[in-house]
Amino acid sequence: MELLIVGKPNVGKTLLMINFAAYLGLRELHLEVSEGDGVRRSQRLTTDRARRDLVSLYAPKTHRMQTLMLDQGLGRQRVPWTVADTMGIPEGIAEEPEIRHQVALTLERLLRADMVLHVLDASSVGLRRMEAPGPFDAALAELGQLLKGYLIIANKMDKPGSHEGLRLIKERYRGVPVTPVSAVTRRGFRDMKNWMARLMG
Amino acid sequence: MAEVYTPDMNPGSSEEVFHWVEAGRIAPDAAVQLLTRFQSNGAQGATTRRDRSDPDRETPDLVLEDLDRLVGLQDIKRIVRDIRAFVEIQQLRVDVGLTRNQQTFHMVFSGAPGTGKTTVARIMGRLFKALDVLPKGHLVEVERADLVGEYIGHTAQKTREVIKRALGGVLFVDEAYSLARGGEKDFGKEAIDTLVAAMENYRDELLVILAGYPDEMAWFLNTNPGLMSRFPIRLEFKDYSAVDLVHIARRMVHDRDYQLAGDAEAGLLRLLGDHEGYWHRNAGNARMVRNLLEHAIRRQAVRLSARHTPLTRHDLMTLTWTDFEGGLS
Ligand SMILES: Nc1nc2c(ncn2[C@@H]2O[C@H](COP(=O)(O)OP(=O)(O)O)[C@@H](O)[C@H]2O)c(=O)[nH]1
Ligand SMILES: [Mg+2]
């Protein structure tokens, strides 16, 4: 079972993965980072350390796919599963080949994943910011309808403007399931977990 | 699926879409839109099924209908039909216990850009899938830069990556002669060797098409005699005649919901006839027609918006010769 987290840069994908893992009771994360050419580096770190190293203001942005390995599923079957945190997808054609490679890789994984969380920053809807929902998100919401398990996460619900943002998101992607979440306060994590458990059977 | 002859945005598979993203040809949002198409066609997941009873599989006749819709290309259409007959007869022979004539279908397409090589290559992939010769039949289009690396060993690795992506379908190497341009020491040679080795190893899973300008391809094959026998099928894509090009223009215009005024057709015929042989070499011809059209569409908008009288549906649809005059300037 694979859960894939996708979205534009800076919408909170990495923090969502780490804090959700903590919410599930994990104290240590087992991450596999693909270094390209099929090489994978395995890394174990505490959730605190992960937050500091992977999402703080000084941390480098996620530029490679990193996969969190979990031994126990949420469904009745309790099968091992993985959560893949991906590089943020920028709008437009990226100049750097490495970014384009990551985008291609992410899209490929997207079609194979069992569950997809499409993360939006609800506090930046309509703003001229990199993380504001755009054409890529609109296209993905369409594709999402055809995927096995697809859910839009309206993240950063703790921030000002996010309620209006959520309303706009629901209006814009009518008919697509949207779950409001804050990766910081953990609001909405229970809904997310229930959704996953249902799909894991 | 009307735009069979404008191959640029008509991928054959999701693999191809991923490749275009990597190559910087399309932005993520466009890629996702294209992937949506495959997902809804159920074309995805049609991976290594060789099951002839698969209901949504294309028949050879359907594929050939698409081939017939292409403008011109008479010789090519005939050869493709011959190939189909050959494959089907071989299969029937096997069915009644006779030996199959081992045949390799690797091909060389010579012709200027814009003469339909990629479009035909894609149709070839679909045909071979319909005929059960290839499991997937998708097209992976590459050029020298996708195969050749920067240091020893890098090229073999890159080429193998590309081959992996093409397995089950068609590997289309555009401007293939450029692999031999650098001579013995050039990494292009390593790419050729890797390719040839893969053709041996994946005999039933890969069709390789080498494409490029006629003169360069002739030179390429002559300097690499080993390749001659490995690529037994040669298709020549002639430059379109002015009449063909106008025909192509008419279809492209139609697909975009426009029409050509009588003076525009006559003018185009003159323009394209005058330039026959002149821009074929570099500008590419079906592609040139498309560029001309796009300019004309823009000029028509300018012309109409300057008018003070009400605009009819007919006005909005019609491209006149004044929209084309001045070519691409
Ligand atoms: N207030 C608030 N900030 C968040 C939330 N989720 C993420 N962030 C912040 O947004 C920034 C980008 O987060 P990150 O996880 O690196 O985003 P990614 O690029 O999508 O992986 C960081 O500064 C996070 O602390 C949230 O729910 N609320
Ligand atoms: Mg990240």
**Rounded percentage of chain A residues whose pLDDT exceeds 70:** 97
- Which tens digit of pLDDT belongs to each residue from A151-177? 999 999 999 999 999 999 999 998 899
Decide if pLDDT at B203 tops 70: yes
Ligand 1 in contact with A120 (CB < 6 A)? Answer: no
Q: Could you write out the three-class secondary structure of chain B?
A: CCCCCCHHHCCCCHHHHHHHHHHCCCCHHHHHHHHHHHHHHCCCCCCCCCCCCCCCCCCHHHHHHHHHHCCCCHHHHHHHHHHHHHHHHHHHHHHCCCCCCCCCCCEEEEECCCCCHHHHHHHHHHHHHHCCCCCCCCEEEECHHHHCCCCCCHHHHHHHHHHHHHCCCEEEECCHHHHCCCCCCCHHHHHHHHHHHHHHHCCCCCEEEEEECHHHHHHHHHHCHHHHHHCCEEEEECCCCHHHHHHHHHHHHHHCCCEECHHHHHHHHHHHHHCCCCCHHHHCHHHHHHHHHHHHHHHHHHHHHCCCCCCCHHHHHEECHHHHCCCCC
Q: How far is CA B304 from CA B76, B129, B139, B312, in A?
A: 42, 48, 41, 10
Which segment of A190-199, B19-28, B43-52 scores lowest on mean pLDDT? Answer: B43-52
Q: Which domain holds residue B115?
A: 104-237
Based on the domain organization, do B203 and B271 belong to the same domain?
no
Decide if pLDDT at B135 tops 70: yes
Based on the domain organization, do B280 and B197 belong to the same domain?
no
CB contact under 8 A, A146 and B32: no
A108, containing H or E segment? helix A97-112
Task: Tell me the domains of chain A and their CATH numbers.
Answer: 2-200 (3.40.50.300)
Does residue B316 form part of some domain?
Answer: yes
Based on the domain organization, do B128 and B170 belong to the same domain?
yes
Give residue B327's pLDDT.
64
Decide if pLDDT at B279 tops 70: no
Give residue A72's pLDDT.
81
Based on the domain organization, do B264 and B209 belong to the same domain?
no
pLDDT classification of B275: cutoffs 50, 70, 90: low
- Cβ-based interface (< 8 Å): residues of A facing B: 37, 89-94, 97, 100-101, 103-104, 107-108, 111, 134-136, 138-140, 142-143, 146-147
Based on the domain organization, do B221 and B270 belong to the same domain?
no
Based on the domain organization, do B232 and B255 belong to the same domain?
no
Looking at beta carbons, which residues of chain A come within 8 Å of B23? 100
Does residue B74 form part of some domain?
Answer: no
Cα(B138)–Cα(B34) distance, integer angstroms: 15
Disruptive mutation site among B14, B15, B16, B21 for chain A (greatest number of A CBs within 10 Å): B21
- Can you tell me which residue has the tokens 């011809």? B285
C-alpha angle B42/B47/B48, rounded to 5°? 140
Cα nearest neighbour of A94 on chain B? B24
Give residue B244's pLDDT.
83
Based on the domain organization, do B229 and B156 belong to the same domain?
yes
Amino acid at the residue A140: L
- Which tens digit of pLDDT belongs to each residue from B80-104? 999 998 888 888 887 777 877 767 8
Ligand nearest to the CA of A129: 1
Cα(B124)–Cα(B138) distance, integer angstroms: 9
CB contact under 8 A, A104 and B35: no
Does residue B26 form part of some domain?
Answer: no
CATH number at residue B267: 1.10.8.60
CB contact under 8 A, B29 and A135: yes
Cα nearest neighbour of B26 on chain A? A93
Domain-terminating residue out of B168, B203, B237 = B237
Instruction: Say how many domains are in chain B.
Output: 2
Domain-terminating residue out of B189, B212, B237 = B237
Cα(A27)–Cα(B109) distance, integer angstroms: 60
Decide if pLDDT at B27 tops 60: yes
Q: Which of B26, B33, B44 sits opposite A93 (nearest CB)?
A: B26
ipTM: 0.93
Looking at beta carbons, which residues of chain B come within 8 Å of A136? 27-29, 32
Global pTM? 0.53
Domain-terminating residue out of B207, B237, B267 = B237
Decide if pLDDT at B241 tops 50: yes
CB contact under 8 A, A91 and B32: no
- Which comes out higher in pLDDT, residue A116 or A63? A116
Based on the domain organization, do B219 and B251 belong to the same domain?
no
CB B252 within 8 A of CB B290: yes
| 3-class DSSP assignment, residue A11 | coil
CATH number at residue B117: 3.40.50.300
Q: Which of A103, A104, A146 sits opposite B36 (nearest CB)?
A: A146
CB B71 within 8 A of CB B250: no
Ligand 1 atom closest to the Cα of residue A157 is 27
- Which tens digit of pLDDT belongs to each residue from A102-155? 999 999 999 999 999 999 999 999 898 889 999 999 999 999 999 989 999 999
Cβ of B40 under 8 Å from any chain A Cβ?
yes
Based on the domain organization, do B165 and B270 belong to the same domain?
no
Decide if pLDDT at A17 tops 60: yes
CB contact under 8 A, B31 and A142: no
Tell me the average pLDDT across B295-316.
90
Based on the domain organization, do B196 and B258 belong to the same domain?
no
Does residue B165 form part of some domain?
Answer: yes
Cα(B247)–Cα(B267) distance, integer angstroms: 13
Based on the domain organization, do B134 and B217 belong to the same domain?
yes
Cα(A120)–Cα(A8) distance, integer angstroms: 7
Decide if pLDDT at B313 tops 50: yes
Cα(B166)–Cα(B159) distance, integer angstroms: 11
Does residue B89 form part of some domain?
Answer: no
State how beta strands B107-111 and B207-212 pair.
Answer: parallel
CB contact under 8 A, A136 and B35: no
Decide if pLDDT at B44 tops 80: no
For residue A11, the CA-to-ligand 1 centroid distance in Å is: 6
For residue A10, the CA-to-ligand 1 centroid distance in Å is: 6
Q: Which of B228-232, B233-237, B255-259 has the highest mean pLDDT?
A: B233-237
Give residue B329's pLDDT.
55
CB contact under 8 A, B24 and A94: yes
Tell me the average pLDDT across B28-57.
63
Does residue B10 form part of some domain?
Answer: no
pLDDT classification of B47: cutoffs 50, 70, 90: very low
Ligand 1 in contact with A183 (CB < 6 A)? Answer: yes
Decide if pLDDT at B267 tops 50: yes
Cα(A5)–Cα(A83) distance, integer angstroms: 7
Based on the domain organization, do B117 and B209 belong to the same domain?
yes
How far apart are the CA of A150 and the nearest CA of chain B, in angstroms?
14
